[in-house]
Structure 1
Amino acid sequence: MSQEEEEKKQDTQVESQTSQEKQRNFLRKQHEEYLLSLEKSKDLDSIGYYLTEHLRIGGAYWSLNALACLGIKLPQEKVDKLVKWILSCQNEDGGFGGNTQHDSHITSTHYAILTLIIFEELNKVDIDKVVGYIKSLQKEDGSFMGDTWGEVDTRFSYCALSSLALFNRLNEINVQKAAEYVLRCRNFDGAFGGSPDAESHGAYIFTGVGALTIAGYLDAFDKDQLGFWLSERQTSKGGFNGRPEKLADVCYSWWIYSSFRMIQRVNWIDCQGLENFILDCQDSEGGIADRPENCVDVFHTFFGIAALSLLNQQKYDLVPIDPTFALPKPLLLKNFPHLSHIVNTL
């Protein structure tokens, strides 16, 4: 190879490296604009709008918590309007539906509570009614139903324990049985499924470990064995998959990395590789997709930003988020001092 060809090759490599570094800048302004534009993008003629109508409370939490991580506060007039809408989603049984006039569900109830906490407006809700609703969903074996139809898995255990812990009302349920049920969902590989004997899954590990952290049973299982299973979820791309032989997905950056934080095994993975994967999933116009080059959505945008906050909040100038409660840490320490034994140690 001639000197001229060698220099040209080096220039190409430098340009490629510069381009990659540019792509991996955190697009803060674009994400802010994307999140703030979501309310204006309602296409009432689109079937997608109606197919996702039951997810409105969840969508509010994902977008508003992402903005909170970015340090963005909405005008009080807008907050008042959103709080009024959230309260309109509460039903007579005390639970919240995914939208106005939707049946109550424990996940929607949890999202409503978290969103009101972000606004510091939790005092606007009848907490006794919510607690009564959550209590009514615990079964004899300690598990929780999602709603009156009876579906059970550890997502609902986590939602129940998180909500009641935030209310400082864990004594209203049988915490020991709740924890024992989650522990029965642990598999031979050391990881957790959504129910006893169900396949181990990254998202259910978050709900299982989160529930056990809140319940005070974090030392009731082998954290090294779980950490080994979790570390195998990191792919060559740097991102995590949720199960063996699956593609990496940005949402597992949160589910799995927050679990690593709770069991204190973060040094077992390539954190820089995970950061790079999340940044590669950004769209130049704002928002984060499940994987590079795919379409963005608010779900993955939140989990990508939240994971970056956990990974390196100072580098990305993000408000620190708590890995157990998935809320801004300063907000928890300010308004929920009874949880400082969990929040301060993670």
Structure 2
Amino acid sequence: MRFSTPSGGFAGGPYQNPHLLPTYAAVCALAIVGKPGEEGGWEQIDRVKLYDFFLSLKQPDGSFVVCQDGEVDMRGCYCLLCVATLLDILTPELVEGLAEYIASCQTYEGGFASACYYLPSGARGRLGEAHGGYTYCALASLFLLRPLVPGVFGLIDLPRLVRWATGMQGLEIEGEGFRGRTNKLVDGCYAWWVGGMEPLLRELVREQQRTGKGEEEWEEWDDAVFNQEGIQHYTLSIAQVAQGGLRDKPGKPPDAYHTACNLAGLATAQHRVVRSGEVRTVMRGKWRVAGNPQLEDREGRREAYLASCEWAEDEGAEVYLGGEENRVNAVHPLYNLTITSVRQMMGHFYGQEPVKSSVGPDE
């Protein structure tokens, strides 16, 4: 909390300006180690000032700069949406035009670029380079926007996105790791940035199959987006180093960033996390009306809560390469936090009772 600023946003360090990325990091850290109550961190977040800080960064085209006088960046849009959803400050006013802006960042390859580039005429041009990190941020952002923009996935080319994403996994000779861009080398961090899209893409394709959309595109779909055991192999046998920590690739030193992303990708490859209708039904039945009528009537509020908290681990579908001693906890595909951490923080700020993290009613 020492890095919280008078504006409501968080800075990356002492004497620095508030910025969307450290704001996301700070709130996620508080989801893990914080709690309600005095000095627990959660009550000390000034959500009113934070909301105003977010609005101050909004641009006319619906996007956001990452800080005052900063650049527009897909990562910033994602970080803002994560924090706004976790803390119950997501509103139509905040996200107006953002879905259309994100969709305009999809490139001819199918992945997403860091930002939208405007032509001299003022029209939006799909001129950026598809990148694993920006694509994950774009896809997760569209899921987070869905409670307020129900038809959001009609704005993008899903078959092209799936085709691009599956092409990012390396061959067996490359250890079956992921690259972040076409014709680049594999890198352990993309186990999360690309591999972490697996639950999201799987859910979207299954939706299309259920509704009969694009039948020819999905007729040979076997419900496997990536080679999950290949991801585990790269992480455990290639990215992991003997002295501890994980790395980009052989020849590179381990570091905190690559350790975190490798392990998040490993979690996604080991566990099958799905949107559970059972969990959604239980949560909807337990929904408590807010004491403030204005809060309760806010568009999309309950749906934002349900859409994030309905994700659950499909028990019995896990696969641990090398045995259960290699197990790590499952992560939420939208936040890169444990499902329990997401539900506890959102339960607090939305005034709801969390349910357990696996599929099935909370008995």
User: TM-score, structure 1 length as denominator?
Assistant: 0.70
CA contact (8 A) 2:112 2:138 kept: yes
Q: Partner letter of residue 296 of structure 1? A: P
Distance 1:260 1:318 in 2: 17
Q: Partner letter of residue 155 of structure 2? A: A
* Aligned counterpart for 2:23 among listed residues 101, 109, 117: 109
Distance 1:213 1:201 in 2: 18
Matched, 1:262 2:219: no
CA contact (8 A) 1:281 1:293 kept: no
In the TM superposition, 1:44-193 aligns within 5 A as 87-120=1-34, 121-171=41-91, 173-193=93-113
Cα displacement (A) at 1:327: 0.9
Distance 1:147 1:344 in 2: 37
CA contact (8 A) 2:113 2:129 kept: yes
Q: Partner letter of residue 267 of structure 1? A: A
Cα displacement (A) at 1:220: 3.3
Distance 1:329 1:293 in 2: 34
Deviations 1:241-287 (A, max 9, x none): 01111110011110001122212166132221111111121111210
Cα displacement (A) at 1:234: 1.1
Aligned to 2:166: 231
Matched, 1:221 2:178: no
CA contact (8 A) 2:7 2:53 kept: yes
Matched, 1:253 2:191: yes
Deviations 1:300-334 (A, max 9, x none): 00111111111114533322111111111112123
Deviations 1:86-108 (A, max 9, x none): x1112222221111211111111
CA contact (8 A) 2:189 2:248 kept: yes
- 2:72 aligned counterpart, secondary structure: coil
Distance 1:98 1:192 in 2: 26
Distance 1:141 1:125 in 2: 28
Distance 1:95 1:333 in 2: 22
CA contact (8 A) 1:306 1:321 kept: yes
Q: How many residues align?
A: 258
Cα displacement (A) at 1:172: 6.2
Deviations 1:97-136 (A, max 9, x none): 1112111111111111111111133222222222211121
CA contact (8 A) 1:282 1:292 kept: no
Distance 1:164 1:311 in 2: 28
Counterparts in 2 of 1:326 and 1:254: CA distance versus 1, 3 Å: same
Divergent runs of 4+, >6 A: none
Counterparts in 2 of 1:161 and 1:173: CA distance versus 1, 3 Å: farther
Distance 1:176 1:124 in 2: 28
Q: Partner letter of residue 209 of structure 1? A: L
- 1:170 aligned counterpart, secondary structure: coil
Cα displacement (A) at 1:174: 3.6
Cα displacement (A) at 1:335: 3.2
Counterparts in 2 of 1:218 and 1:325: CA distance versus 1, 3 Å: farther
Gaps in structure 1 of 5+ consecutive residues: 1-86
Greater RCO, CA 8 A, separation 6+: 1
Aligned to 1:290: 248
Distance 2:153 2:196 in 1: 14
User: TM-score, structure 2 length as denominator?
Assistant: 0.67
Aligned to 1:241: 179
Give the root-mean-square deviation of aligned CA atoms: 2.2
* Aligned counterpart for 1:276 among listed residues 220, 224, 233: 233
- 1:273 aligned counterpart, secondary structure: helix
